[in-house]
């Protein structure tokens, strides 16, 4: 759709379940997304919430690229298991994504054609939602690394069912080759959807500090790369998440429940950014 919300049109296949769309840098002539349509044209069932709030990591997801009108579809991943949460580097040469190809949810990188795959994280637990810094030097991501026997057992049992429990996520940063990993946030909350400011000096993300169970009031926050100077950005009841800046840094787009006419209705919002 256009930035004013007009000319909405479907660009995926309309089959299966589709997630994690992203524009190809630097030209904008390709898009990136993940879909289950080759595994099964039917939409997979929603996750079972009988064990609390969980996310489904469907094994049928693969990563695809296409033109912005949906034509020229090409499959980039072919391995069994979940492949999703992919984003491009600013120069368009590398893709970073989450995969369960080695029976745990880790972050990998590959070239724009799906070749030269490299595993970047190896810690037990979920590592996902990665974004490159504008200069391609760093990758920011969300992570849950279980430590106690109970946490590890719960994580592994859910993973056998293609599920994760995203109720406690912290932000991490690493170099693009997977080195120099360090934790940025220590909020004890569900901090997720991190992306860089256009100058690469700060990170914007969503979190729900002070609440539990992956629910509650999610707001947008900003933080320095070393974890200092935490700043709250939004002040609206409900959900605010998935923030991304325009390439020139003049606007911010994100998803929100504000002005919803029905329970859990989520829409896209755009705002001018005043540095």
Domain limits of the chain?
18-183
* CA–CA distance, 109 with 229 (Å, rounded to integer): 30
What are the tens digits of pLDDT across the range 162-214?
999 999 999 999 999 999 999 999 999 999 999 999 999 999 999 999 876 55
Superfamily (CATH H level) for 18-183: TolB, C-terminal domain (2.120.10.30)
Strand order in the sheet with 74-75: 18-23, 31-35, 62-66, 74-75
Local confidence band at 275 (pLDDT 50, 70, 90 cut-offs):
confident
* pLDDT for the residue numbered 62: 98
What are the tens digits of pLDDT across the range 90-117?
999 999 999 999 999 999 999 999 999 9
**Other CB atoms within 10 A of residue 252 CB:** 20
């Amino acid at each position: 759709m256009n930035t004013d919300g007009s000319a909405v049109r479907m660009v995926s296949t309309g089959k299966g379940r589709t997630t994690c769309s992203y524009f190809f840098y630097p030209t904008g002539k390709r898009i990136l997304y993940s879909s289950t349509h080759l595994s099964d044209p039917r939409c997979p069932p929603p996750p079972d919430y009988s064990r609390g709030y969980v996310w489904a990591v469907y094994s049928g997801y693969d990563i695809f690229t296409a033109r912005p009108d949906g034509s020229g579809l090409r499959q980039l991943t072919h391995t069994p298991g979940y492949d999703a949460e992919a984003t491009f580097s600013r120069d368009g040469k590398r893709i970073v994504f989450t995969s369960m190809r080695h029976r745990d949810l880790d972050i990998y990188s590959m070239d724009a054609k799906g070749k030269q795959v490299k595993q970047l994280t190896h810690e037990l637990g979920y590592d996902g939602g990665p974004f490159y810094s504008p200069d391609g030097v760093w990758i920011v991501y969300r992570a849950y690394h279980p430590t106690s026997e109970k946490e590890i057992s719960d994580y592994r049992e859910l993973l056998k069912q293609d599920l994760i429990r995203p109720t406690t996520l912290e932000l991490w940063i690493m170099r693009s080759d997977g080195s120099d990993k360090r934790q940025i946030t220590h909020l004890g909350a569900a901090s997720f959807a991190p992306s860089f400011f256009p100058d690469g000096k700060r990170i914007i993300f969503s979190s729900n500090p002070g609440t539990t169970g992956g629910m509650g009031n999610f707001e947008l926050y900003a933080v320095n790369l070393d974890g200092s100077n935490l700043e709250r950005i939004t002040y609206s009841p409900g959900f605010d998440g998935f923030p991304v800046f325009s390439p020139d840094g003049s606007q911010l787009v994100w998803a929100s429940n504000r002005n919803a006419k029905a329970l859990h209705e989520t829409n896209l919002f755009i705002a001018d950014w005043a540095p």
